[in-house]
Homo-oligomer: A and B are copies of this chain.
Amino acid sequence: MGARDSTLGFALLGLLHQAQRSGYDLRKAFTATPLAHFRDSPGAIYPALRRLRRQGFIEPLTEERPSGRRRQAFQLTPAGRRAFLAWLQAAPTRDEVVRDMDALVMRLGFMSQALPASAVLSYVDALRAEVEAYLVELERFLATAGGQMPLSARLAFESGLEGFRACAGWATRARRRLREEARKEGRRE
């Protein structure tokens, strides 16, 4: 349990890792950032919070608010922090590269708030390796089957290819920046 949480669940853990927040705060956070394409619907967030609470990953923060307005804030429990860290540290798999790249990118997004640059670096590296391996497979497919594909199908396929190529290029550049950052961090300690 915990490993099979929904992406939304981990996104909530990530945000609550930064600071205690209420359901309403979390909704606003999703609306404000263009990155995570979650709906800010209460019908998703409140049930997800209840699930996390049932799993023992978050706990309500009994707040005394002298001035009226009802508000239920949550914070991570130690178990929640552990689950979040385990999720962050999991190596990206081929399967995730193929059908859940968004979640991989989101994971990266939360990473420096909890792990050192060296860990981020190895994550990006692993991601790049998986992407490049998949690229090889895609290119092989195009070489064998590309000839018979109708034009728009080939274009669609190529758009996917280009996306993964861009990802590989980005990862290479990101790696350089992270290596530098990791060096700085190393010196600081």
A residues near B, CB below 8 A?
34-35, 37, 98-99, 105-106, 108-113, 117, 120, 124, 137-138, 141, 150-153, 155-160, 162-163, 165-167, 169-171, 174, 177-178, 181
Copies of this chain in the oligomer: 2
Residues of B contacting A162 in the complex (Cβ-Cβ under 8 angstroms)? 166-167, 169-170
State in angstroms the CA–CA spacing of A120 and B153 once bound together: 11
State in angstroms the CA–CA spacing of A86 and B175 once bound together: 44
Q: A37-B99, A159-B105 are in contact. Are A120 and B170 (CB under 8 A)?
A: no
A105 and B160 form a contact (CB under 8 A):
yes
Q: A170-B159, A170-B162 are in contact. Are A152 and B34 (CB under 8 A)?
A: no
Residues of B contacting A110 in the complex (Cβ-Cβ under 8 angstroms)? 152-153
State in angstroms the CA–CA spacing of A141 and B33 once bound together: 9
State in angstroms the CA–CA spacing of A98 and B151 once bound together: 25
B151 and A112 form a contact (CB under 8 A):
yes
A156 and B34 form a contact (CB under 8 A):
no
State in angstroms the CA–CA spacing of A116 and B138 once bound together: 27
Q: A105-B160, A158-B170 are in contact. Are A151 and B165 (CB under 8 A)?
A: no
A35 and B156 form a contact (CB under 8 A):
yes
B155 and A159 form a contact (CB under 8 A):
no
Tell which of A35, A117, A138 has the most Cβ of chain B within 10 Å. A35
Residues of B contacting A170 in the complex (Cβ-Cβ under 8 angstroms)? 158-159, 162
Closest 4 CB pairs of A and B: A166-B166, A109-B156, A112-B152, A37-B99
Residues of B contacting A171 in the complex (Cβ-Cβ under 8 angstroms)? 159
CB of A51 to closest CB in B, whole Å: 22
B34 and A141 form a contact (CB under 8 A):
yes
B153 and A117 form a contact (CB under 8 A):
no
